Structure 1
């Protein structure tokens, strides 16, 4: 649009000048003694315009020639910047995609070739993160030191310190990270949210409950922390403050907000402190206030531990909770434990069975087993305790009809192999010369099926003490053989059970 405007304007000026000059004919005389030059006004104007155009074109050409070195340097700079941008982009894509080795290679090459200090800092920081992902902590620290050297601006210095601290926290060195963070500027405000979060992580890992409590509250106030995470951190930190306060724990307790007092870790710590000072009623109030907000399993377990005198009052309170949560397994188990403390056996069994129907747990099975044993129901107690063991270690129940595998007799020192086991009989201890000799019946070769030579009747005498030791060592370590599940041959089973252990087995 602008080009059309100027073209139209020049055309209008040219037409107006032509009309004006045609109506006013005249001459232009240039006196340069001893010369006298006379021109028409039209020619004079044309010469002036032409001279101006030639002068303008000449000056522009001269300016273009003089600007060639600068334009060459600019072109090279733009090409280098484009190359650096491509390498930085490839490095970041590789870092985000998990190709840490290739990413570190590209970023390290960029760090060595680029001349821009800001880009050097970015390349070093990115390469340090890639090296950290490969657990190359020595290379990571070296890259971070290079980034610190090239960081001239305050913002870049803070970025290097914050990233270094974050990587140290991920490595599991909160003390070193805290030392790095303490060198950075910090004030409560939106500008330092990231540093505040890193400080919170360091203090939480170091169990600095006072600092973690204050930082978590500040971040939650600025909505920079999720409510669930804030409750978890504040609860643990406030409980730690209570337990570390010593005799001044009441002052800390009064400084907490009402919502913080109902957090499970805080309520458990306060109840423990009240119980330590024999103020069970205050401990009950603390636990009940927390349970009114949330039926936490640990709170319910602590609420169920009480003296028999407090059972009735706590049961009445638990019944009101049960109306709102009729199928809460932890509440049902806690009520069963309260009934056990109060020796209300029927109600205890009823609550525990209801809890077991909703959620089977090893603890509930164990409580029912203990109750059944107390009531004299041994079979039920054994069944419950067996199920508690299976639930705690994850063992499958063995089928009742399954038989255990037979004992491995290959290592039995008295084991002999023959085609017919009846060919070998035990000697009569009243008439045999030695109780440890195996007699061979007529018609049996001196070679067993494995090709070994059986000892003769007089050569088979072995020292009784050595054989007995080997015999007992074998059967002490062997698994129990499968017992007969039927009743077809009871006499044979009882006879085998009465076999004298001093006699070797014959096969």
Structure 2
């Protein structure tokens, strides 16, 4: 359709010119004494038009000749940029295909473009890191660091690679440099957390975890796990320093003091440092309020409290929180430790009925060994062995031996009322 319209326009112009050329009444006289040249008006107009066209073509050719070096330079720059973009694109594809050596070679082409050099250097560093080539990694990162738009990205990349290579000092140095530039974002804090964890800086781990918790940057279950590990490590470092342990306990938030694993570690450390009564108070405060099965054996093992006190507390919690195996096992252990064999057997048999596991059966086997009831001991040892449990029991006093098959061992009359 466009071609038809073009032909019609050409024909219309031709017809117009033909009609115009019919009017040829005017003349143009050129006087150059002693010469005189007479020309028709149409010829003069055609000559002027031709002269104008010729001058236009000459000027256009001159302009193109003058601009030729610049056009050649632009053409080369365009080709170079196209090659750089293609190298960056193909390098990214090769990196994600796992062809890291090829990715490095392709990314070299993008270094010729200043606006692409930083991004290409970052990807090249990652490709070299995948190949475990630290020297090439350093060269790529240095190249990325020299480009202002990618300076922070280069520091982040450096910190991440240092964490992956188990170099926490280098990772923390990169994060510190990043913070000095005013870049304090969540990923940098996550990297710092991993670096502190690798370095064993548990106080810094706890501080960073608390910051990430405020900003909801990690899943609550991850936060809980990290807090448990950090606080348990801090407790282990202070196990022989009761004052430092008390300061650590005071620095914990209410939510942290309510984590069973943390409370268990603190209570054991307090008991080890000679503050068994404080440990018992800490555990009792939790168990009076809610069920915490992990804390029951810890409370039962605190030697600073007499056995009857521990038995009464466990019986109270058993009535409050339900008849659970953890309470009956603890009561059975305490009764056995006191030589209350009848009550110990009663509690342990009840625990075995509630939760038939290897630990309870091993306790019963040891109890029957102490009482000289070898057939029953052998049966429970066999049951415990099938569960793969070999839990060592508390040291019990020697019980008077009875004849094999006697089902009525002597039971001391002074069993606690609460039991």
Shorter-chain TM range is 0.5 to 0.7
Q: Match of 1:269?
A: 265
CA contact (8 A) 2:92 2:123 kept: no
CA deviation profile, 1:64-98 (whole Å, cap 9, x unmatched): 55254134303421441244134313322223xxx
CA drift of 1:368 comes to: 2.0
CA drift of 1:266 comes to: 2.0
Task: Supply the distance in 1 between the matched residues of 2:381 and 2:180 (Cα, whole angstroms).
Answer: 58
Q: Match of 2:171?
A: 177
Task: Supply the distance in 2 between the matched residues of 1:321 and 1:200 (Cα, whole angstroms).
Answer: 39
Of the three residues 223, 228, 232, the one matched with 2:221 is 228
Q: Match of 2:199?
A: 206
Name the count of aligned residue pairs. 351
Give yes or no for the alignment of 1:315 onto 2:309: no
Q: Match of 1:283?
A: 280
Q: Match of 2:186?
A: 193
Gaps of 5+ in 2: 7-12, 391-419
CA deviation profile, 1:110-135 (whole Å, cap 9, x unmatched): 35554333254134213223213xxx
TM-score of the superposition, structure 2-length normalised? 0.68
Of the three residues 117, 127, 148, the one matched with 2:141 is 148
Task: Supply the distance in 2 between the matched residues of 1:271 and 1:352 (Cα, whole angstroms).
Answer: 28
Gap change, CA 1:64 and 1:226, over 3 Å in 2: farther
In the TM superposition, 1:357-376 aligns within 5 A as 360=357, 362-376=358-372
In the TM superposition, 1:319-330 aligns within 5 A as 319-322=319-322
**CA RMSD after TM alignment:** 4.1
Which deviates more from structure 2 when the two are superposed, residues 342-351 or residues 379-388?
A: 342-351
Relative contact order higher in (CA < 8 Å, ≥ 6 apart)? 2
CA contact (8 A) 1:274 1:283 kept: no
Larger helix share, 1 or 2: 2
Task: Supply the distance in 2 between the matched residues of 1:352 and 1:207 (Cα, whole angstroms).
Answer: 42
Task: Supply the distance in 1 between the matched residues of 2:274 and 2:32 (Cα, whole angstroms).
Answer: 126
In the TM superposition, 1:394-433 aligns within 5 A as none
Secondary structure of the 1:258 match is coil
Gap change, CA 1:111 and 1:30, over 3 Å in 2: farther
Gap change, CA 1:157 and 1:364, over 3 Å in 2: farther
Larger of the two Rg values belongs to structure: 1
Q: Match of 1:445?
A: none
CA contact (8 A) 2:365 2:379 kept: yes
Gap change, CA 1:126 and 1:282, over 3 Å in 2: closer
TM-score of the superposition, structure 1-length normalised? 0.57
Task: Supply the distance in 1 between the matched residues of 2:287 and 2:152 (Cα, whole angstroms).
Answer: 42
CA deviation profile, 1:173-200 (whole Å, cap 9, x unmatched): 33443344444335897x4322211111
Gap change, CA 1:251 and 1:154, over 3 Å in 2: farther
Q: Match of 2:395?
A: none
CA contact (8 A) 2:84 2:109 kept: no
CA drift of 1:157 comes to: 3.6
Gap change, CA 1:60 and 1:75, over 3 Å in 2: farther
Task: Supply the distance in 2 between the matched residues of 1:290 and 1:371 (Cα, whole angstroms).
Answer: 28
Give yes or no for the alignment of 1:380 onto 2:376: yes
